[in-house]
Structure 1
Amino acid sequence: MSGSILGDLFKISTWGESHGKALGVVIDGCPAGVNLTELDIQADLDRRKPGQSPFTTPRKEKDQVEILSGVFKGKTTGTPISLIIYNKNQRSKDYSALKEVYRPGHSDYTYDAKYGFRDYRGSGRASGRETAARVAGGAVARKLLASLGIGITAYTYSIGPVTIEKTNFDKDFIQKNFLYMPDRQAAQQAEEYLTGLIKGNNSSGGKIECVVDNLPAGLGDPVFDKCDALLAKAMLSIGAVKAFAIGSGFSAAEMTGHQHNDFYNYNEQGKVIKQSNNAGGTLGGISDGSQIKIQVAVKPTPSIEKTQPTINRQGENIDLNIKGRHDPIIVPRAVVVVEAMTALTLTDLLLKNMTAKLENIQKIYC
């Protein structure tokens, strides 16, 4: 299987399965001198790990990370960083009844079509548990970005029909509720909505919004490696994500040119600023120095205890009712995954941008 490597200069390679011994990531290209400990990485993994609320799978995993290489006395050495997270609470027998069945909404059928063989225990590499390795790698990228004053904040924008109100936006509340919503009223409404779905053995989707502050202008390479194009690729690589938007997104199709254009002016310090941000922080595929704002749509959890028509490997039409431990909603645990993929993409672009101008090279060598 190819396709488990992301990045050009700041590069990660993830490995492991949901019900294997462990998952992990190898990071190649991280500069030496970044302050890094296991606690830095654990903080993000703790936000993603299961079993923390009534709205996540009851599978209990500590997701304890170990740094195997690339760090000495609390600083990165410039050599490959290897991180491992052991699986401790697998219940593979829960999936024995599914080894011959193609579950609706899962990758079972397509994996068989491609490889003729698949790991049916929790979907193997197609499991949402695979994202633990991404989050670990993203935590390292986030440390590098933080040293440059670049901040990334993601949050739950909507769950089912419940959407946050920007007038109620409270950044501090994001980390104080199970759903990672920045709106107390919306969080309460979403909890009530999800409780009803759980009682009916159903699941929900939602949207995640992510903003990046203090990113410099100039990141992204036309034509195929645009900043927004690479962010889109990173987001759509997350298994449950079905759509990506930046800035005004699909609303741009309903606007006029005069409405959508972001007008420039200089502030008192002579800095270029925009009066609006419909572009979402990029122009021509290159960051423009304003806030990056993206949204992703996350599908409902496909594993539900409701009877669904499907097929099996023997060519039969059957009815399926899925048992086991599953999230009634993926969105809250995916918030930190979106942050991680954003951090990884932008860190790689920052390193690549160092060679865009001769003067940049001269600053290092002259």
Structure 2
Amino acid sequence: MVDTMALLLPFGRASRTTSPSAQHPAAGLPADDEVLLDAPDDRLGPALVAAGQGSHRAAADLLAATRALGRWDHRDRYVLRLAAFARSRPEWVQTWHAAAPDDPDVLLLRAQLAVDHAWGSPARAELLRGVSPLITAAARADDRDPVPWRLALDHARGSRAGHTYFGELWEAAVRRAPLHYGCHVAALRYLASSWHGSHRECLDFADRAAQDAPADSLVQALPARAALVYLNDGCGPGVPPERLHAAADRAVALSARFPAADLWLAAVRNKLTCVLVELGRWDDALEQLRLIGPHATSYPWSRSADDPLGRFLEVRHQVRRRAAPARGRAGHPPGGRARRAGRRDH
């Protein structure tokens, strides 16, 4: 039997550690050398392995299933990961498109690849103008799918589109999937970009969306995402600390609804941990690290380090040192709010 993770190692980022012998059994954390970065789930993993071998079939089946079942958040996440893989190994996507040029799934993947390519170029705005037909083709291929509209929202941000046009795209996106997390994140990023420094408006948008969403929806994590944008932006006036704590509390409540070491929620929990550390809530951060288990994600740790896994492990050590002495025991600490830590601590 083929070892899936062994095949993935040359292409993705897997386990590495800054301290191979570091163990954290008393804190309820896996050892450093057990932590993986951006580990794929049991559906994405085989698709990446097959793509590495030049076959698009598993990726096609995976994306077709998300479309048939209307699992739009999964579809969005898988498209992003497959496109990231295809940036350095595009042959399987080219073969797929040649075999099925009207397939909604390969059209969406090609549009994502084109946006990614344009985004990393100094000529972003000019390149993005040429991407519009690909996004339109993906949207027309399946009118139910909100993911092309998330791409359109990203495209509007990159091309500095006005608020009226962006609002039209937003209405089209939420009409298809009112709770699609990717579209909400794209809208939040647009607001943060076009209202630079006006974080209160971003938090208002995130709070309204979360208030209208079910308790188990990923949209409940949107205010914490807005808080992270604020904290990453050097803070500034206009946002009371209570709002940041309330945003973190909402995401903590969402996290508690999912099992420990759940890959689906790993990205939310990694970002939430970063927010809790910035707020000096060491006990709550340690609890999220327990729930994260071995599943680190590149973002948000890549924002402050070229080695996101190494940065994640550093933060784990820091949180364990700060939280454990106050608790004096290995059990789960009560969730309490410490004083807000200064940014220079991190």
Length-normalised TM-score, structure 1? 0.26
Instruction: Determine which structure has the larger helix proportion and give its number.
Output: 2
> Which protein is bigger by CA-based radius of gyration?
1
Structure showing greater relative contact order (alpha-carbon pairs closer than 8 Å, 6 or more residues apart)? 1
Instruction: Determine which structure has the larger strand proportion and give its number.
Output: 1
